[in-house]
Structure 1
């Protein structure tokens, strides 16, 4: 048998790579892993975790205001961005350390430098050393897309938001997806004047139309300005230090900060993949089969670098399935149906299964049930903001094929409800469940 330095070499230690390395090592494999930036990847370092902490911080803006309606004597409060930024980055450092400790405890050899593929069974490290492995796993994730427009370097991406020295008074966010809408809500709550510019007239493509329209309505009421059907033509720094952003389809804007949130592309540049025969698609994603195997049998990929579903829990599940199948004698594949997702906007929205439009295209008959209500807390706080829950059912058998929500704690509520949708429960099953009163979640079993 051919001798290799390792059974598995993982390039990229984000959510998918960390899970695959740890599980493979727990199955007895000799594992090495390389990371050129920080262990934890996008989610831990510059994505889900620090973003959610900013979301929590942003919610205090309304909570402190509402508290007065509930009898609390709240003095005028001042938000200090530097304090939150420092505490968030400190938490990120703590989590990165925990990831490293976990991998080391499982016997994974950590290599904190860039690694590229040098052959079907070889990896070249930045220092020049060549390492051999029976299997190579690419888990390098994705990176923000920056448009090709004059002055593009004046803008930043979601990677840099967490390191801003000060909050911008006026910020333009380019994009209509979840990253754009989440940071629009965060920065608006912190006091920035936010303008969101999108090249189409649709935000959150892929989510149910009624739910995303409700978010647009609420966001506008909160003071976020939306400009649609616009594309950038030029970005210039003015003599006063501001940014002059020229657009086609909309008037130009002068802002303090421009944030690009127009999508993410697989991070496969200069990894040596095509040179050894690994096929990439038009976006640069690694083409893999159901077992995460590329066109080179010894090279595999999981997570955003495959561009299947760019979600952290999916990457984790793929890493687990990969390691169990290859090293644990437990063949498994990821089920990509009924994946729940959420947008941590203000208010948040969450979804699982088919939208109404998707269901009407796929099924012969559809029944739709909704609950459009004012949350009890909002009533006493004097807010007109309304929540909306929507259930999409197959009319032939009553099976719930989609569930969509916008309102406080929607992601927390939907996680449990997603189990019911995936299990194929019917509207009757929901109706027969006694409501938990008074709660927002009870609307799930009271829809008409």
Structure 2
């Protein structure tokens, strides 16, 4: 059934705003989180994991762009799997997407708190994180165009911050630092590092969730995915080399007390210019903008994913309602905020990142299978963009995502149980509610 006029989202996103969203969703991954993978794989193991993940995201993004242009709806993977595989599989795909988008923002919120705490130690990391949730949920409620314009500005600032970081640290780059303890846990460390390599790019698929709000989705979404992915690959490679090449990977993973750090770029810079430098303080400040860009963008995408679940009856109906004044999914955004705050209060950034990666990989698998099925099931479906090198590209994405998911299950069995318990439990609960 087509949504009523009250349930339709406002079309306001241009190609430039979509680029800002695509890069903004992900750019926090350059500023924190990925460094935790170095503890698992070292420089070489993390580099191998990152190379594999780049191939995954290039092939997946092209495949996902075809689906987003052919079926431009806010539910993203849920809508694609629902159409290709049926309602039950669609629910699981959508719930995987929800888990990804629900767990990524709290991890980033902790990163925001950590960066902010470096400059203003009098404020607690948790307090800053919760404040960020409240402020940016409110901004998203006020309107998509306003939120997207803010995202574009802060994303440009975040990219500028990375450029300044490279300029500061690359003069002290030495190849020998890349070889220090490069493979501490053997080649198996590459598999353990996968979720943190995924963190470099996790979230770009959120562009599909705003396709319904794009002025010209069939044209603009393709441009958004392509331009954003190209930008992110360049940012990833240069940031990785610059941060590790200053003084080895261990100096951007461990704090003085031996705990893992959520602020690797400031740690790398402190090896070069010291923590009292004005440039250091500037980069930390701009780095906070990078985290805010991703946090804000993923809050936006998560709201659309939850909204679609409510709109079609897979979640309580009030989640699928649009605010009459602002034409945004206010109820979905508020519920996501409450759940996100509860997640960040667990104080386990690494575990939250891994749970988000579980959701992402499961969703990628469902999406690529949906693409393959729809090509056969609905050959007449209008496809303004077709994935190049079909079926090779989507099959590469499917194989890599499947191997990565299996590796994550092997190396994180307890978190795998938590993920599948949420996934299956929500499915069973939804079925019970429907029967009642």
TM-score (norm: length of structure 2): 0.30
TM-score (norm: length of structure 1): 0.30
Whose helix proportion is higher, 1 or 2? 2
